[in-house]
Amino acid sequence: MNVNPVPTLDERINDIRMRTSAIVNEWILPNEATLWNLGRNGEASDHDRRAAAELREEIKAVVWKAGLWAPHLPEDYGGMGLDFLAHAYMNEVLAYGIGAASLFGVVAPNSGNQSILVKYGTEEQKQRWLLPLINGELESGFSMTEPENAGSDPRSLTTSAVLDGDSWVINGHKWFTSNGIDADFFIVMARGAESDAAAKRREGTMAQFIVPTATKGVNIVRGIGVWGRPNSDHCEVVYDNVRIAKGNILGQVGDGHRAAQDRLGAGRVFHCMNSVGQMWRAFDLMVERARSREVHGGLLQDKQFVQGFIAESYIDISAARLMTIHAAEKVDQGLDGARTDISAIKVAVPAAYSRVVDRAIQVWGAAGVSNDLPLAAMYQGARTLRIADGPDEVHKILIAKNVLGGYRDGAGWDFGN
């Protein structure tokens, strides 16, 4: 990956980007097949698995020693304590390498849960859940979306948490709870209600609860098959009279929606910057192939169709990157003022990502859809991003609402701010 200091960035961010790219280039890119593929059809021997695990630990130690561990966490919790923009700039470099973020201590959904626990957790919750999650002793999931209700409209959620003496009793049906197979606890979004009757009337406001997965009544039905694969770690979960301690609520009843927005709002910028890093990788792969593949008496790079792919992808990546950096700058100035820009990038960047990867696949021909390259997985990831964390349409509605609101107030829209 060709990363150089950016003249307009401060020395600290440039330093982080340069040192991150050095590790990605030296440790991760040359070892991707060993680290993750584990045999081309997933048929890894025990020896291969052990070698991969050892290598991952070795790289984590290098990252730790370089002071680049957990960019999303405050220094008090062993992280880098980065501000938002610096983290975003680091992400585009990290995302270039497959799975690199996990070797730098940032793995969704654990990283989002860590940030929520830092912000909303009590001291006791931090000791019991956050610190072991950071140390890698625990795994977690975030359980919000329900099969019977529209995930695009979180207010429609019906999972209930009713206070009964010293316990909350949770009932509900969720799906697409990622990392559900390995998770030791879930953060569950539910409607906190005073009584069963109130819960049935859909009264009560949203709250988030820490639910250990070993609790009686937590029933992990299946890892849902996605993209033609028979299963995944995105789980369907039934909560059947799950009784948890009263102290397992995160913040207060009523905080749930805001906590989800805190998580998703920031997360969307990071997802987009990740997409930029992945587009960068797809672009490099496309150009590499165009420079070396001979067809019909000449290199692909000399054909105008392919030159068009390169130019259009360059435009897509540059536009996506600048929009995302602009949104990250706005988040640094206050999340509320950035909401329109966050929605704009959440629509624009996955679409650009899909186009760039699509062109890279085309240039590679059959190899483009093979498991020998990361492009096929990227293609699925880009498509999925148009749904996860709020589908395109919901973000377009929000953009239009905010813009129209600006005009209604008589001010119009100031694109400079």
Ligand X SMILES: Cc1cc2nc3c(=O)[nH]c(=O)nc-3n(C[C@H](O)[C@H](O)[C@H](O)COP(=O)(O)OP(=O)(O)OC[C@H]3O[C@@H](n4cnc5c(N)ncnc54)[C@H](O)[C@@H]3O)c2cc1C
Which spans of this chain sit near ligand X (rule: CB under 6 A)?
109, 142-145, 150-152, 176-178, 234, 384, 387-391, 393-394, 397
Which residue from 98, 130, 137 is spatially nearest to 114, judged by alpha carbons? 130
- C-beta closer to ligand X: residue 16 or 357: 357
Q: Give me the residue whose beta carbon is nearest to ligand X.
A: 151
What minimum distance in Å lies between the beta carbon of 96 and ligand X?
21
**How far is 270 from 264, CA to CA, in rounded Å?**
10
- C-beta closer to ligand X: residue 150 or 295: 150
Which residues have a Cβ under 8 Å from the Cβ of 330 and sit 6 or more positions away?
A: 337, 338, 341
- C-beta closer to ligand X: residue 221 or 315: 221
- C-beta closer to ligand X: residue 31 or 384: 384
What minimum distance in Å lies between the beta carbon of 83 and ligand X?
26
- C-beta closer to ligand X: residue 33 or 387: 387
Record the tokens describing residue 106, joined without a space: 């940032």
What minimum distance in Å lies between the beta carbon of 394 and ligand X?
5
- C-beta closer to ligand X: residue 105 or 151: 151
Contact by Cβ (8 Å): 98, 32: yes
What minimum distance in Å lies between the beta carbon of 242 and ligand X?
16
What minimum distance in Å lies between the beta carbon of 189 and ligand X?
7
What minimum distance in Å lies between the beta carbon of 409 and ligand X?
24
What minimum distance in Å lies between the beta carbon of 141 and ligand X?
6
- C-beta closer to ligand X: residue 27 or 176: 176
- C-beta closer to ligand X: residue 71 or 172: 172
| Rg, the chain, Cα only | 22
- C-beta closer to ligand X: residue 140 or 324: 140
What minimum distance in Å lies between the beta carbon of 385 and ligand X?
9
What minimum distance in Å lies between the beta carbon of 392 and ligand X?
6
What minimum distance in Å lies between the beta carbon of 210 and ligand X?
15
Q: Which residue pairs from 195-202 have beta carbons closer than 8 angstroms and sit at least 24 positions apart in sequence?
A: 195/162, 196/160, 196/162, 198/162, 199/160, 199/162, 199/171, 200/160, 202/158
- C-beta closer to ligand X: residue 152 or 362: 152
